[in-house]
């Protein structure tokens, strides 16, 4: 039991938790993106609706989903404790900001970027997940595919992406997510001690590639759906 308390109270232990939860969330994002790319299929939303129906009724996925929410909470909570500890250790901050000399803008702004992403997640969950799971009709229409009645999740998403403000919010949130991932990926490997002079370049390169590709693909979804369904 004492190792759990030691991990939770030491700075390095907390950084390891940040890294592990962060890497899990990176994995979630990849799976979520693959599922969401079905929104781009020109099949009236059938593939996406079958996919969300499967996700909502598979017990294993539902268990992973609970873990997902717990990891988001842990990632945010532990980051807050690290932030508060940092502030207490250096209440008036550095006299001179070192600028780009030893840290990038995205690394110094992780807390700010993370807060924006948290606000995005709250609004995002309210807009889709909450409506599908707890509200239902008449906000969410029902549809029948092959005789099976299910939520028309596609229509819910497509309707929201007809509002330019929603599309703009998603695009901005994805840019912010990109900056957060840009620093987060490499930082996670460092916290886990997985750094080796030979592989550091590859790890940081892969992290940066991921930080660009995933948000760009995510942001293409609202842009494409807006343009495709406009008029």
Euclidean distance between CA atoms 113 and 110, whole angstroms: 5
Evaluate whether 149 touches 156 at the Cβ level (below 8 Å).
no
131 touches ligand HEM by CB under 6 A:
no
Q: Mask: binding to ligand HEM, 170-189, rule CB under 6 A, as x and -?
A: x------x------------
CB of 120 to ligand HEM, least distance (A): 6
Q: How many helices (H) and strands (E) does the chain have?
A: 9, 2
Task: List the Cα angle 140/172/55 in 5-degree steps.
Answer: 35
Q: Which of 17, 78, 143, 153 binds ligand HEM (CB under 6 A)?
A: 153
What is the number of alpha carbons within 13 Å of residue 19 lying toward its C-beta? 15
Of 56, 74, 171, 175, the one binding ligand HEM by CB under 6 A? 56
The beta-strand segments (E) located in the chain are 142-145, 148-151
Q: Which of 71, 182, 218, 226 binds ligand HEM (CB under 6 A)?
A: 218
Answer for which of 20, 23, 26, 36 binds ligand HEM (CB under 6 A) is 36
Residue 208 binding ligand HEM, by CB under 6 A: no
Peptide bond into 132 cis (omega under 30): no
Binding residues vs ligand HEM (CB under 6 A): 32, 36, 39, 52, 55-56, 65, 68, 117, 121, 124-125, 128-129, 132-133, 153, 157, 170, 177, 218, 221-222
């Amino acid at each position: 039991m004492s190792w759990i308390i030691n991990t939770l109270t030491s700075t390095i232990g907390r950084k390891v938790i940040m890294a592990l939860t962060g890497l899990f969330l990176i994995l979630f994002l990849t799976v979520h993106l693959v599922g969401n790319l079905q929104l781009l299929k020109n099949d009236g939303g059938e593939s996406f609706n079958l996919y969300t129906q499967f996700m909502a009724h598979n017990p294993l996925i539902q268990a992973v989903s609970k873990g997902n929410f717990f990891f988001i909470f842990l990632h945010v909570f532990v980051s807050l404790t690290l932030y508060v500890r940092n502030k207490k250790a250096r209440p008036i901050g550095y006299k001179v900001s070192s600028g780009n000399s030893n840290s990038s803008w995205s690394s110094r702004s992780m807390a700010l970027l993370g807060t924006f992403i948290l606000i995005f997640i709250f609004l995002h969950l309210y807009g889709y997940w909450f409506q599908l799971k707890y509200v239902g009709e008449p906000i969410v229409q029902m549809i029948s595919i092959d005789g099976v009645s299910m939520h028309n999740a596609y229509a819910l998403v497509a309707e929201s992406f007809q509002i330019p403000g929603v599309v703009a919010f998603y695009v901005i949130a994805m840019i912010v997510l990109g900056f957060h991932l840009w620093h987060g990926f490499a930082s996670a490997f460092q916290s886990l001690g997985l750094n080796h002079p030979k592989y550091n370049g590859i790890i940081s390169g892969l992290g940066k590639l991921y930080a660009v590709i995933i948000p760009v693909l995510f942001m293409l979804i609202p842009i494409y759906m807006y343009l495709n369904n406009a008029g």
